[in-house]
Amino acid sequence: MFSNLFNFASPQAFYPVAGRMISWFGWSAALLGVAGLYIAFFVAPTDATQGESYRIIFIHVPAAWMSMFLYLVMAGWAGLGLVLNTRLSGMMASALAPTGAMFTVVALVTGLLWGKPTWGTYWVWDARLTSELFLLFLYLGFMALKEAIDDPQRADRAGAILALVGVVNIPIIYFSVQWWNTLHQGASVSLTRAPSMAATMLAGMLVMALAAWMYSIAVSLARVRAIIVAREQDAAWVRSGTR
């Protein structure tokens, strides 16, 4: 009964749609990125206590958000594939993982660079930092597991199980600043409270976050197209060049 509802989930139907969407998202990402960086480096004022170094926030925070968000999306696709046995879901999860891992690395590296001037050290073993590091390990584990299994269908299902189990790490990252008292600061952007930072800073961060979002969509779509072609080599529609 799901067959109609999830008709778009066939790789064949999805391939051309994805092709058309990529450029839209790609251009939006570029434009938003330029705008965000402009706000970050030219509009936003110098911070009273941290000087210029605080500007890392415009990359750090969106990257950290994306790293967690993409994991949830990836796990969502993976779970969908496990339940409904749709081929496309596993490919989507595979396509999202490298981008998620990339944002995790960015969050870690910008955090490291920021830590030196503010905390006086690159790295401390605090709960937020450590759980973010383990998010990276989860992404890497997901990719390693998929890489290690020959049969793509089996790899999809095994990867999905891992991704779903790893979801427990996300609340740990997010709430770690509340659960343990750490060096890292707590959430300052919240839906329930008035933001505690300058409006331009907030705007810059949100624009950068949107850019990251668009970028993720564009890159994942491009990657999923490549995966579709690689996996469906035998399928007639690929060979006949309908793409």
Partner 1 sequence: MTAAIVLVLRRDLLVALRRKGDALNVLIFFVIVASLFPLGTGAEPGQLRAIAAGVIWVGALLAALLSLPRLFAADLADGTLEQMVVSAQPLPAVVVAKIAAHWLTTGLPLALIAPLLGLQYGLPGDALLVLLGAVLLGTPVLSLIGAAGAALTLGVRGAAVLTGLLVLPLFVPALVFGAGAVTASLSGIAPGPHLSLLGALLAVSLPLGLWATCAALRVALD
Partner 2 sequence: MPRKMRYMLDAKDLACERGERRLFSDISLALKPGGFARLLGANGSGKTSLLRILAGLTRPAAGEVLWRGEKLGDIAEGYGREMLYLGHAPAVKDELSVAENLMFSARLSGIAASNDQCRMALEALGIGNLAPLSARVLSQGQRRRAALARLALAVPLPLWLLDEPFAALDENAISRVRALAEAHLARGGMLVLTSHQEVPIAAGNTQTVNLGV
Ligand X SMILES: Nc1ncnc2c1ncn2[C@@H]1O[C@H](COP(=O)(O)OP(=O)(O)OP(=O)(O)O)[C@@H](O)[C@H]1O
Binding site for partner 2 (CB under 8 A): 150-152, 231-234
Residue 234 within binding range of ligand X, rule CB under 6 A: no
Residue 13 within binding range of ligand HEM, rule CB under 6 A: no
Considering CB under 6 A, how many residues would be counted as binding ligand X?
2
Which of the choices ligand X, partner 1, partner 2, none does residue 237 contact, using the CB cut-off of 5 to 8 A by kind?
none
β-pair partners for 51:
47
Torsion angles phi and psi, residue 60, rounded to 5: -60, -50
Candidates 75-83, 89-97, 127-135, 150-158; binding stretch for ligand HEM (CB under 6 A): 127-135
Instruction: State the virtual CA torsion across 177, 183, 188, 189 in degrees, nearest 10.
Output: -60
Residue 173 within binding range of ligand HEM, rule CB under 6 A: yes
Sketch the per residue contact string, 24 through 53, with partner 1: x for CB under 8 A, - otherwise. Answer: ------------------------------
Question: Mapping DSSP to helix (H, G, I), strand (E, B) and coil, where does residue 180 land?
Answer: coil
Provide, rounded to whole angstroms, the least separation between the CB of residue 121 and ligand HEM: 9
Q: Specify the residue, 65 or 142, whose C-beta has the smaller distance to ligand HEM.
A: 65
Residues contacting 12, CB < 8 A, separation 6+: 232, 235, 237, 242
Provide, rounded to whole angstroms, the least separation between the CB of residue 35 and partner 1: 36
Among 4, 120, 150, 236, binds ligand X (CB under 6 A): 150
CA–CA separation, 64 and 234 (whole Å)? 39
Q: Do 14 and 8 meet the contact criterion of CB atoms below 8 Å apart? A: yes
**Half-sphere exposure in the Cβ direction for 161 (13 Å, CA):** 7
Give the H/E segment covering residue 169.
helix 169-179
